[in-house]
Amino acid sequence: MRITGYKSHGVAAAAALVNAVTCADGDDSPAALRRILREHEFFWHEFADADAADFRHWGRTLRPFFEADGLAEVMAMLNGLMLEIPMHPHLADHEPHGLHMHYAPPSSRLAERFRATTLMNLAELIVEHGLGRTGVCAAEGCDHVYADTSRAGRRRFCSEGCANRTNVAAFRARRRE
Ligand SMILES: [Zn+2]
Ligand SMILES: [Zn+2]
């Protein structure tokens, strides 16, 4: 169950983009960026290889959101971006989300729509949940960010793999003592 319904798709897409663009093992090739758009239900077929630079820039811009540990810092960051990015909120009704909000002007390019949607979805996330749902993976040596859109909201790792690795290491450390 997703906590913020269709809005979660922008939150999860933002985390996936940040990981692709800013992480040591990230793949920010046009093919990988297109896959992120497809997996998170954006209009991936509109993506042209020439758009990759815009998406990479946006991924680097959003990384500090996931690293922030103060709400004031995040509010200032998001408010600044909301001033910079062209917004023209309007209603849309199409698959797979049904009736929902669009935030960028209707004639915008995909990269601009992606920026506006992810920005607003992250803003809505912190309005509802503060900073408790996003962060950098707690596993040793992992630089991935995560966004927790589950109902429980207790996630601290980017993946099951990192959670298991950390738990095994903690178990071994306890046994050595
Ligand atoms: Zn839409
Ligand atoms: Zn991790």
Distance 137 CA to ligand 2 centre (A): 5
This prediction's pTM:
0.92
Q: Is residue 144 part of a domain?
A: no
- Around ion ligand 1, residues with a beta carbon closer than 5 Å are 92
Distance from Cα 117 to the centre of ligand 1, integer Å: 9
Which residue type does 107 have? S
What is the rounded CA–CA span in Å between residue 28 and residue 83? 27
Q: Which domain holds residue 75?
A: 5-132
User: One-letter amino acid identity for 102?
Assistant: H
pLDDT tens for the chain, residues 1 to 177: 445 555 678 999 999 999 999 999 999 999 999 999 999 989 999 999 999 999 999 999 999 999 998 999 999 999 999 999 999 999 999 887 788 889 999 999 999 999 999 999 999 999 999 999 999 999 999 999 999 988 888 899 999 999 999 989 888 988 888
Q: What's the CA-to-centroid distance between 18 and ligand 1, angstroms? A: 22
The widest CA-to-CA distance across the chain, in whole angstroms, is 63
Residue that is written with structure tokens 């935030």 in the block: 103
User: How many independent structural domains does the chain possess?
Assistant: 1
Q: In this structure, is residue 32 part of a structural domain?
A: yes
For residue 160, give the 3-state DSSP assignment: helix
* Among 61, 74, 9, 65, CA closest to 39: 9
- Dihedral of the alpha carbons of 118, 129, 64, 18, in degrees to the nearest 10: -50
Which CATH number fits the domain that encloses residue 125?
1.10.3300.10
Token pair in block for residue 29: 């090739």
Ligand nearest to the CA of 159: 2
Q: Is the peptide bond before 96 cis (omega within 30 degrees of 0)?
A: yes
Asked if 27 and 20 touch (Cβ cutoff 8 Å), the reply is yes
Q: Is residue 168 included in any domain, yes or no?
A: no
Looking at the DSSP bridge assignments, the partners of residue 100 are 92
Residue 47, Ramachandran bin (φ over 0: left; ψ between -120 and 50: alpha; else beta): beta
